Amino acid sequence: MTQLLNYFILLPVFGFLISLLIPDKKETFISSVAFGTVGLHLVSAILFAISWFIKGCPTLNVKDIDVFRTTGYDFFVDLYLDKITIVYLLVGALLTFMVTIYSRYYLHREAGYKRFYNTILFFYVGYNVAIFSGNLETLFIGWEVLGLSSFLLIAFYRERYLPVKNAVKVFSIYRIGDVGLILAMWMSHHLWHENITFLKLNNFELVHEHLQSHSFIGVFISLMILITAAAKSAQLPFSSWLPRAMEGPTPSTAIFYGSLSVHLGVFLLMRTFSFWEQQTSVRILIGLLGLSTAIITTGIARVQSSVKSQIAYASISQIGLIFIEVALGFENLALFHFAGNAFLRTYQLLVSPSVASYLIREQFYNFSPHESSVEVSIFSKKLQNTFYILCTKEWNLDSFMYRLLWNPLKWGGNKLNFMTLRRVLIFFSVVYGVGLFCVHHKELISPTIQAYLPVTFATIGLIMVLKAFTERRRATMSWVLVVMNHFWIALAVSFNELFTFNQVYLYLSGVVVAGAFGFFCLRKLKSHENTIDLDQFHGHSYKHPKLAFLFLLACLGISGFPITPTFVGEDLIFTHIHENQIVLASFVSLSLIIDGLAIIRIYARVFIGPHTKSQHEVAYRSS
Amino acid sequence: MSTKTVSHNKHVFDEKEVIHELKHFLPAQNPLKDFVHHNTLHAFQDMKFFEGIRRASEIFGYNVSLSLDEYRALYAQGRIREDVLDKILLEKFGASNVKNWKNKLVSETYEANFLPRIGNLRANWKKSYQIDLDSMVHPTLFRIICGFLDQGIAIWGFPEKDKGFLDSLKEMERNSYSSYFRGKRAKDLLLKTDCRIKDLLQILVGDESLYTQYLYDQQFAHQGWSGMVSAVEDFPETLLDSRKISLQDAITFELLLEIDAIDFHCGNNWSPLSQNLSDKPIDLFADVEETEVHKVLKIWQEAFEWTYYDEVLAGIKLKNATSKPAHELTFQAMFCIDDRECSIRRYLEQFDTSCETFGTPGFFGVEFFFQPEGGQFYTKVCPAPVTPKYLVKEKNEVAFKGVKLKKDLHFSKHSHSFYSGWLISQTLGFWSAVKLFGSIFRPSMSPATSSSFKHMDKHAGLTVQHTHHEQEENGLQVGFEINEMVDRVEGTLKSIGLVKDFAPIVYVVGHGASSVNNPHFAAYDCGACCGRAGSANARVLSEMANKPEVRTMLRERGIDIPDTTQFVGALHDTTRDEVAFFDEKLLSEANYANHLKYEKIFEKSLDYNAKERSRRFESIATNLTPAMIHEKIKIRSVSLFEPRPELNHATNALCIVGRRNLTKGLFLDRRSFLNSYDYSIDPEGKYLFNIMKAAAPVCGGINLEYYFSRVDNQKLGAGTKLPHNVMGLIGVANGIDGDLRPGLPSQMIEVHDPVRILFIVEHFPDVVLDTIKRLYATYEWFINEWVNLVVVNPETKELFSFQKGEFVPYNPLTKDLQKISDITPLLESTQDNFPVYLIGA
């Protein structure tokens, strides 16, 4: 039975790969593959769940593959199944199955028919990897896949401005969640001295013993998990991304943001429950976060005058309540609530276009001009106006995120306008050379200085990547800086302790290959289109779809997506940051956040968005 | 007002005039429930078609024709014929230049990159100030306007809505601890000054000569919302829950938001836009030269149109005269002129050769407001420009409101609140999964469906006759007086030429549509009934014509309807291909017996009609039997996942005004509006005048809306409907922060060939010329070439084409048309448009 877990991962992977190979125009073939894959998955899931239930609901765990092993470090894929997995599996399979069928006709003749199904299957891969994951590392793989498929689906109408802009926005929030997860992995490695499985976390005594001696580390990990969960489930202060993600075709919006994707934060909390169960302060915090989200977003939902944003906020508020249930330890209730909320919102979103005829009819027969809502009876006029304005402005959450995230970065980046590709390259070769020399001759440098060097190099990397993120003119310059950042990180961490260069190679090999590959793509594009600045969207995927796809692969490779060794390397490098090097850890993680943002920004600006040449039909920017 | 006046006094900014002009150019689309087709570029209709679209394109950046590549592809496929093209080139450039021009058309490359004039001034905020004003202002602005106009999506509605838009905002800003503005200055401007647009522009722009262009740039950055505001300002009654808003208010508020955004971005010290302007942008309304590429596109378009027209005209000339059936008439049926009724009429005539069909605008000449039982409002059921004085109420003893208003908890607002949401998501949530499963595998009628049969209850009575103890209601007379009925019945019958030889049963068939998950539902219903189903009108006309008093008076006016003849109202649902008959219980015994037979003929015809329609649908195999296809068509109409329940007016290209004889036996592929008309009873064109007065704007409007939505689906159409989000029940947008998307979604227009409609009128050229000239509003359509016109001499069948104000003889190039006896194999052969065929042995 345990071995069957693999099957649940491999089936969608297989379906996804096949779907990539089908020609664009074969609508029936494409949808049949999706239908077959998800349908088979659903049937297997149901049969599996029944037999699992008959056998008395055992908890299953299988250590799958060792991806990388060295002394004191073992990166392995681990699969795990319990009640939570089963519920997420059944709900996910059922909804995805229904939506694949639904979209078969709904998307007929849409230009991105194939792309849509590719992305849905890709999403489904990520979803299953996440819910079957047996350790944080495996979960992280699924998490990354989900984030990317989200980006691709939000930007599904890539020839329009707003979907692309919002896709980048949502991606940046997800990126915060990702780094939360990386930091949680980093600290937990130091806590357990291994990549601990969720199965082991169920051991109450073990967790208790470790937390006793490391209560700060415990709280840190829990907080990182909470941030990740809150970002994914659109809890405060991240809530405003969810309605903005509703740019794709209605069915994809329905399963992603109505149901499955948005409930994965809840999943993460439930999955790690046994870890933070004993930290009362964390539980109170989760409960309070859920409660305040529920209250605030209910208010926002009530003033929404567009049907999808109303459903989005209503859903967030229910997830807030689920957070409370999880914090209180009502696991069954939370699972039940999750399933109900997922089904309800999916259906509500799918029938949302009907709201026009339905409500207009209702208005026609039942209208009463003096209907008033609850607020009128509770608040004074002045408070009513105040709350109404705040709710329509979403309590400034969106601009808050903007100000908190982008403005400081932009400000910093703009200070770096003096940098040019040549200067950067010269600087890099000189300073990096010195850095390498120092690594190899540590004995020559006083320990005091040595202690500062990692942070220094990390800072240089951070500055470089900041410049990459705000570069307006040359895409290649931005790209080169992004690639360099990884070198700086590697250098910085090299000072920490003696580890074999194999590990650095592991880390940088992917970066180098993907970096060169991406550079080549940009060069090639430039030879066709002359200018590729980053000041506006260019939408070159319109004319160069293949190049766009290849470049996307390069972006994935370089941002540590699980297709190159860099993915393992990134995690590995992190383990060499000591638990007391908070500054270094935060600098490195910050530069990884911005790195990801800079990469997605290059891709978005160069390849998607409205096409610069106006001989094609171009939509209004505001549409 | 002409568009040219704008440029004259551009240095003096006249706020009223500019706003008036601006409103003229903004999209004039009403809220969703009152969707009526109109010429998208109506603002340019005072110019010749090609000149108008050229200007529209240069100023606003619209695509106004197919692309050169598309035309060339059509030419390569033979869908633009070479002989037609040659003929046009010959007429335009003379024999010596034909070859030269043809080369240009077929192979010359032209620089296609162009920048429209709109938006250039305001673009300087980004260029000189590095400020992305739109993304700072639009989301807030849209949300506030949408919240204000919202008709019932929000649970907690706009706190102040009884005053005007700006006054409401003032009130809220004054009496609140929070503010829509980020800084203090804009708020103070709103609260402490009288906020004249000119003063605000002084702050923002600084140079008075640029104000007009600035406002155009600003409003056309979100023409969807601006157009909606303008429409609601002009027709406040279009919102059931009415609001006072004006474009002036909206502009004022937007200017304040802009000032606020720039304050926020640059601090309080920034200089107006004009000060950082290197050179002034070109005047928006300056003349637009006709370049060679314009000429090339124009010729392609004409060749494309005349390739089709030529076949149709040849068909009319070639087909054999069909005489009236020799034996006794079984029944007559009146339909709407709608192109969707074209084929059902053909099938009825095929399966019962002794019947006759007619076409007339689907309100059947009876204009009134309709109030269904339990309805809180009146709904207009006649063409949009008409304002009726009558009210017809639905009366029903049985409490049937439940049927019309079945609830669906999924739309309930309770699921969005805190605690009831908690309960609902854990209970109803699981029911949703079941419902979703059901609606995917077994789609069926649900409360979410918008069905034409819900418009009027089949068993309810109608207050057709005015009785004196019933008073006026809100200035409307309840029901019609007898003489008013006589006028209407006479008018309708004479205009379609039905004044003698009445069959025992005359069906009056209105039409409507059913769909689900379709915010554009009103666009599918009868345009002549203002986007409603035509059932009430069909019944009202029938009831009028059945009244003995009316018949007596009609006899005096020369229409002798035998006592044995009875009129029966009916409704054809064009999506589901179903017909419901009304009051058939009132038929005499003999007629009722026959009616049951005719009902079978209708059913058979509907099956075949469904089959003919199905050829355009990918998901239905057209080679199945008609009955099987009909079932699938019905399921399709209630499927949540079906974005094309029917194709509506797509492919429309003709409007034929004449006797049925003119077109009987021609296969026109559902592309024609058919208006029955008999020249012989209307020698002076009195009825023709009324027909043309209505048909030109209605059919022309439908045609041009399809045309423009097809050639620029992004700017003039609504784009794909799949990501649409319903905003405030009044419009659709993409996502939550987008502008409203007026026009038609791509799913409605993708199979449409963008050709201007050709009117074919059967009468003598001089009478027609005289008739269309009587009213300039009508004449403008023809003289400015927004629609084309050909007249058929009823006696000689000679054709005359309307060119530059006169009729010139036209001889079709097509000399022969293929004859087919059975169209079934044809229908099963392809999804594309068909050429014209002669049907018959």
Q: Do B725 and A351 touch (CB under 8 A)?
A: no
Q: What is the spatial distance between Cα B75 and Cα B52, in angstroms, rounded to a whole number?
A: 25
Between A264-271 and A307-328, two packed helices, what is the crossing angle to 10 degrees?
A: 10
Q: Do B410 and A348 touch (CB under 8 A)?
A: yes
- What is the phi/psi pair of residue A87, to 5°? -65, -45
B640-668: average pLDDT: 91
Residues from chain A that touch B140, judged by Cβ atoms under 8 A, are 393
Q: What is the pLDDT of residue B766?
A: 94
- From the CA of B72, how many Å to the nearest CA of chain A? 16
- B237 pLDDT exceeds 70? yes
**Residue B546: other Cβ atoms inside 10 A:** 21
Using only C-alpha atoms, what is the Rg of chain A? 25
| Residue A350 shares a structural domain with residue A480 | no
Kindly state whether residue A370 falls inside one of the protein's structural domains. Answer: no
- What is the phi/psi pair of residue A606, to 5°? -80, -45
Range from A64-73, A462-471, B134-143, B618-627 carrying the lowest mean pLDDT:
A64-73
Q: A442-478 burial, b for 16+ CB within 10 Å, e for fewer?
A: eeeeeeeeeeebbbbbbbbbbbbbbbbbbbeebbbbb
- B476 pLDDT exceeds 80? yes
| Residue A340 shares a structural domain with residue A470 | no
**Residue B601: other Cβ atoms inside 10 A:** 17
Paired tokens of A128 = 């299953």
Mutation target for A interface from B153, B379, B521, B524: give the one with most A CBs within 10 A. B153
| Domain carrying residue A20 | 4-357
Name the pLDDT band for B340 (thresholds 50, 70, 90).
Answer: very high
Range from A24-38, A372-386, B55-69, B378-392 carrying the lowest mean pLDDT:
A372-386
Kindly state whether residue A232 falls inside one of the protein's structural domains. Answer: yes
Is B150 an interface residue toward A (CB < 8 Å)? yes
* Local structure of residue B577 (DSSP, 8 states): T
- Greater confidence (B375 vs B2) lies with B375
| Residue A164 shares a structural domain with residue A295 | yes
Closest chain A residue to the Cα of B110, Cα to Cα? A615
CA A314 to chain centre: 22
- What is the phi/psi pair of residue B587, to 5°? -70, 150
Q: What is the pLDDT of residue B416?
A: 75
Name the pLDDT band for B3 (thresholds 50, 70, 90).
Answer: very low
Q: What is the spatial distance between Cα B480 and Cα B463, in angstroms, rounded to a whole number?
A: 9
Residues from chain A that touch B421, judged by Cβ atoms under 8 A, are 298, 314, 317-318
Closest chain A residue to the Cα of B455, Cα to Cα? A361
Q: What is the pLDDT of residue A499?
A: 60
Least CB–CB distance from B159: residue in A156, A295, A384: A384
C-alpha closest to that of B517 among B708, B749, B732, B228: B732
Q: What is the pLDDT of residue B323?
A: 58
Kindly state whether residue A508 falls inside one of the protein's structural domains. Answer: yes
CA dihedral (B270, B271, B273, B275) in degrees, to 10, reads -150
Q: What is the pLDDT of residue B841?
A: 55
Q: What is the pLDDT of residue B246?
A: 94
B38-57: average pLDDT: 94
User: Quick check: B400 and B375 in contact, CB under 8 A?
Assistant: no
Where does a domain end: A334, A357, A380? A357
Q: What is the ipTM of this complex?
A: 0.91
Kindly state whether residue A24 falls inside one of the protein's structural domains. Answer: yes
- A283 pLDDT exceeds 90? yes
Q: What is the spatial distance between Cα B2 and Cα B24, in angstroms, rounded to a whole number?
A: 10
How many domains does the structure of chain A reveal?
Answer: 2
A291-304: average pLDDT: 93
Three-state DSSP class for residue B560: coil
Distances (CA, A) of B462 to B352, B371, B452, B468: 32, 10, 17, 16
Q: Do B135 and A165 touch (CB under 8 A)?
A: yes
- From the CA of A576, how many Å to the nearest CA of chain B? 43
CA B699 to chain centre: 9
Least CB–CB distance from A621: residue in B134, B417, B422: B134
Per the listing, tokens 């580390």 go with: A217
A499: left (phi over 0), alpha (psi -120 to 50) or beta: beta
B730-743: average pLDDT: 91
Residues from chain A that touch B738, judged by Cβ atoms under 8 A, are 162, 622-623
Chain B, residues 587-626, CB within 8 A of chain A, namely 618-619
Is B727 an interface residue toward A (CB < 8 Å)? yes
Q: What is the pLDDT of residue B11?
A: 62
C-alpha closest to that of A268 among A301, A235, A312: A235
Name the pLDDT band for B7 (thresholds 50, 70, 90).
Answer: very low
Q: Do B152 and A347 touch (CB under 8 A)?
A: no
Closest chain B residue to the Cα of A383, Cα to Cα? B176
Q: Do A249 and B723 touch (CB under 8 A)?
A: yes
Least CB–CB distance from A318: residue in B422, B644, B735: B422
Helices (H), B497-587: 521-524, 535-546, 548-556
Chain B, residues 87-116, CB within 8 A of chain A, namely 112-115
Mutation target for B interface from A354, A372, A406: give the one with most B CBs within 10 A. A354
B178: left (phi over 0), alpha (psi -120 to 50) or beta: beta
User: Quick check: A572 and A507 in contact, CB under 8 A?
Assistant: yes
- pLDDT tens-digit profile of B788-801? 999 999 999 999 99
Q: Do A361 and B418 touch (CB under 8 A)?
A: no
Q: What is the pLDDT of residue A558?
A: 87
Is B402 an interface residue toward A (CB < 8 Å)? no
Range from B70-84, B657-671, B765-779, B827-841 carrying the lowest mean pLDDT:
B827-841
Range from A492-501, A587-596, A604-613, B399-408 carrying the lowest mean pLDDT:
B399-408
Is B628 an interface residue toward A (CB < 8 Å)? no
Name every residue whose Cβ is closer than 8 Å to that of residue A403 and which is 6 or more positions away in sequence.
none
* Range with the largest mean pLDDT of A414-423, B234-243, B561-570: B561-570
Q: What is the pLDDT of residue B702?
A: 93
**Which residues, in sequence order, are bridge partners of residue B790?**
B760, B801
Residues from chain A that touch B157, judged by Cβ atoms under 8 A, are 373
- Counting one residue from chain A and one from chain B, the pairs whose CB atoms sit within 8 A come to 337
B460-475: average pLDDT: 82
User: Quick check: A226 and A285 in contact, CB under 8 A?
Assistant: yes
Annotated binding residue at B526? Answer: yes
- pLDDT tens-digit profile of B190-230? 999 988 999 999 999 988 999 999 999 999 999 999 999 99
Q: Do B178 and A389 touch (CB under 8 A)?
A: yes
Q: Do A388 and B134 touch (CB under 8 A)?
A: no
Name the pLDDT band for A615 (thresholds 50, 70, 90).
Answer: low
Q: What is the spatial distance between Cα A353 and Cα A250, in angstroms, rounded to a whole number?
A: 9
Q: What is the spatial distance between Cα B551 and Cα A501, in angstroms, rounded to a whole number?
A: 104
Where does a domain end: A307, A340, A357? A357
Kindly state whether residue A560 falls inside one of the protein's structural domains. Answer: yes
Q: What is the spatial distance between Cα B365 and Cα B390, in angstroms, rounded to a whole number?
A: 13
User: Quick check: B519 and B732 in contact, CB under 8 A?
Assistant: yes
- From the CA of A368, how many Å to the nearest CA of chain B? 9
Q: What is the pLDDT of residue B328?
A: 84
Q: What is the spatial distance between Cα B700 and Cα B779, in angstroms, rounded to a whole number?
A: 12
Q: B108-139 burial, b for 16+ CB within 10 Å, e for fewer?
A: eeeeeeeebbbbebbebbeeebebebbbbbbb
- B403 pLDDT exceeds 60? no
CA angle A488–A489–A492, rounded 5-degree value: 85
A612: left (phi over 0), alpha (psi -120 to 50) or beta: alpha
Name the pLDDT band for A190 (thresholds 50, 70, 90).
Answer: confident
Name every residue whose Cβ is closer than 8 Å to that of residue B598 and which is 6 or more positions away in sequence.
B330, B331, B352, B355, B505, B507
- B6 pLDDT exceeds 50? no
| Residue A285 shares a structural domain with residue A430 | no
Kindly state whether residue A18 falls inside one of the protein's structural domains. Answer: yes
Per the listing, tokens 């303008």 go with: B230
User: Quick check: B239 and B295 in contact, CB under 8 A?
Assistant: no
Residues from chain A that touch B715, judged by Cβ atoms under 8 A, are 617-620
- What is the phi/psi pair of residue B432, to 5°? -60, -40
Q: Do B154 and A321 touch (CB under 8 A)?
A: no
- Which H/E stretch holds residue A76? strand A73-81
Per the listing, tokens 């060679």 go with: B292
Q: Do A353 and B138 touch (CB under 8 A)?
A: no
Residues from chain B that touch A362, judged by Cβ atoms under 8 A, are 152, 405
| Residue A471 shares a structural domain with residue A334 | no
- pLDDT tens-digit profile of A555-579? 988 887 877 778 777 777 788 888 7
Three-state DSSP class for residue A380: coil
- Greater confidence (A614 vs A300) lies with A300
Annotated binding residue at B469? Answer: no
- B268 pLDDT exceeds 70? yes
C-alpha closest to that of A302 among A235, A372, A205: A372
Mean pLDDT score of chain A, rounded to an integer? Answer: 87
What order do you get walking across the sheet with B788-792 strand by strand? B672-676, B654-658, B758-762, B788-792, B799-803, B806-810
**Which residues, in sequence order, are bridge partners of residue B569?**
B508
- B301 pLDDT exceeds 90? yes
Q: What is the pLDDT of residue A498?
A: 61
- Greater confidence (B399 vs A525) lies with A525
- pLDDT tens-digit profile of A422-472? 888 888 888 888 888 887 787 777 778 777 888 888 888 888 888 888 888
Range from A530-534, B295-299, B344-348 carrying the lowest mean pLDDT:
A530-534
Kindly state whether residue A403 falls inside one of the protein's structural domains. Answer: no
B130: left (phi over 0), alpha (psi -120 to 50) or beta: left
Paired tokens of B764 = 């003598």
Is B32 an interface residue toward A (CB < 8 Å)? yes
**Cis before A447 (ω within 30):** no
Q: What is the pLDDT of residue B829?
A: 87
Q: Do B736 and A381 touch (CB under 8 A)?
A: no
Q: Do A364 and B375 touch (CB under 8 A)?
A: yes
Mean pLDDT score of chain B, rounded to an integer? Answer: 90
Q: Do A102 and B440 touch (CB under 8 A)?
A: yes
| Residue A425 shares a structural domain with residue A347 | no
Name the pLDDT band for A222 (thresholds 50, 70, 90).
Answer: very high
Question: Pairing mode, if any, of strands B788-792 and B758-762?
Answer: parallel
- pLDDT tens-digit profile of B103-117? 999 998 887 767 889
**Residue A364: other Cβ atoms inside 10 A:** 19
Q: What is the pLDDT of residue B2?
A: 41
Annotated binding residue at B382? Answer: no
User: Quick check: B554 and B489 in contact, CB under 8 A?
Assistant: yes
Range from A230-244, B412-426, B469-483 carrying the lowest mean pLDDT:
B412-426
- pLDDT tens-digit profile of B572-591? 999 999 999 999 889 999 99
Kindly state whether residue A622 falls inside one of the protein's structural domains. Answer: no
